[in-house]
Structures are given as C-alpha cells and as structure tokens.
Amino acid sequence: MDSSKVDEVIFEFPPFLRVYKDGRKERIQNSEFIPPSSIDPTTGVSSKDVVIDPKSGLSARLYLPKLKQPQTNKLPLLIYFHGGGFCIETAFTAAYHFYLNSLVAEANVVAISVDYRRAPEHPLPIAYEDSWTSLQWLVSQSKEEEWFKNYVDFNRVFMAGDSAGANIAHNMAIRAGYMDLNGLKINGIILIHPYFVGNEPIGSEVGNVTMDMAKKLWTFVCPLTTGMDDPLINPVKDPHFSRLGCKRVLVCVAEKDGLRDRGKFYHEELGKSEWDGVVEFMEAEGENHVFHLFNPSCKKAVDLMSSVVSFIHTSE
C-alpha cells in the first residue's frame, strides 16, 4: 500500500487536530486528564467528577467554592460548556480545570462543567444533545446530589461557555425558551468569544482567515448541517431567536479575534429583536480568541473575570 495515501490528511484544524484518510485522528492539543481536587491549594475550591449517562459515558465535573462557616445562604449555580471547536479540549483538561477553579472562587458559585462528546467521533448534534441531557440530569439531581441539595439556590442559575461552549450555551437557552426543563429557569447566559458564523460576511470577515477556518470546521464537525445559515451556527437566522429562555445575556468579544464581528452582530441583533431581556456587551481591546485561558493573570483577563462575576451577582 502506498504509505503516502495512508498518511493523507483529509482535514486539519491547525494546530490542534489532524484527520487522516484511513480514519485516524491526531489531537495535537494537549488533552491530558487533570484529576479533580479535594481542595485546590490556590483557590480553596473542591471538585469531583460525576457520571451523567453510563451508557454514553457523558460526564461532568462539579465545583464547590470554599465555604464560609457557617454557610447560611445558598449559592448561584453556573453551568459551563468548554470550548475547542467541538472537537478538542475537555472539561478535564488543564486550561478548563484551572479556569473553573478561579471562576468558582471569584464568583462564589457552585459549578458544573459538562464533558460533552466531541466530533469527529461524535459529530454534531451529539454535543447539543449531551448538553441538554446534562441540564435534565441536573434537575433530576437537585434534591439528590449532595452539593446541589445543600448549597445551590436554584432560583439563580446561569449558563456560560467560551467559543464552541458559548455556542452551546446559546443553543441550550434557545431550547429552554420553548421546551420545559421541569421548572428550571435560566437567569442569564454568558457568551465568551462565541463561535458563530454566517453565509454573508459582515464587518471585517471578508478575507478573514479565522472566519474561513471557522466555516470549514463547522462543516467538518456538523456534516449534516444545512450550511452557514444553519440556526445552530448563525443564531440570528433562528426563528426562535427572540424566544431565548433567559432574561439577561452578557456577550464578551476580543478585538483581535476573527470571530469578534459576529459576536458584536449577535449582541446588536438580539437587542433589536422582540426578546424581552437585557443584553450587555464588553470588548477586550488588543486581545485575541480565548486569551484569558492562556494568560489568566493579565489585566484584560482580570477585567473579563470581574465582568462575569458582576453579571452573575448584579440581580442580588
């Protein structure tokens, strides 16, 4: 057999993922499993892993902040969806474990970080279905799981995510707007550098290498898509757009991110729609896509963290 054909690359998401003609997948991004912490020495946050669906292997990591003694008031719940283009990273990799530790400590919330199944082994819409299953599981465990039962105020529930995870958070909020979650109400969603595209370019998208890659990636992770105006990736084309199932949204973009204009467009269009809520916007000048994961101590990352924390606690 011609070895050059065996090693032929049919898809590449540089510098993170390479797929070969013979079906092999090579994830170049470090995906080393970081175990949960009984108590994180830096933040005091505790974490543990839970299995949501033994059949599919769907799981999540729960986070609990350092508790005051005595802990009299219950805490908000944050449901987090990690990024990675639907095909790299997990809820258990270093970037997300350390970010969730910091976020939980700063915001003083209980969190669940969902480890949805990834493409290409599990193409979309599987990640969306896993995420919805996780919300249903959360409701079913509200009076059973120790941390939920003892420490969560289910009147203060938020969803958040970055990049592909922000896309998931939006789509879960859309679904929550027209499907019942057994009484669970989402107060707000936080979309950090959301992964959205569209058939018609806007702003600086013409010739934008990042946007071109984002479109190519979408057809790879979602092979049955209707295209770049599929409501799953272009939310303003969704007939349910104005039925977003929450009352508050925070959209965060980065100036040098190729997805920046699409996030800004989302903010503008949601504000003009018939949705009955408040949408907020923040931009990190001079920064690129998910910079806060790679340089969490820089001033702009600290400012982003402050905005997220403030958003969660504004209504208190």
- Choose, from 113, 163, 204, 307, the residue flagged as catalytic: 163
How many Å apart are CA 278 and CA 11, to the nearest integer? 40
Q: In Å, how far from its chain's centre is CA 98?
A: 15
Sign of CA dihedral 306, 307, 308, 314: positive
Residue 204 is among the residues annotated as catalytic for this protein: no
Q: In Å, how far from its chain's centre is CA 52?
A: 18
Contact 116, 85 (CB under 8 A): no
Which residues lie across from 283 on neighbouring strands?
A: 253
Q: Locate 29 and state its tokens.
A: 């991004």
Tell me the residue length of the chain.
316
Which residues lie across from 114 on neighbouring strands?
A: 60, 81
Residues designated catalytic: 163
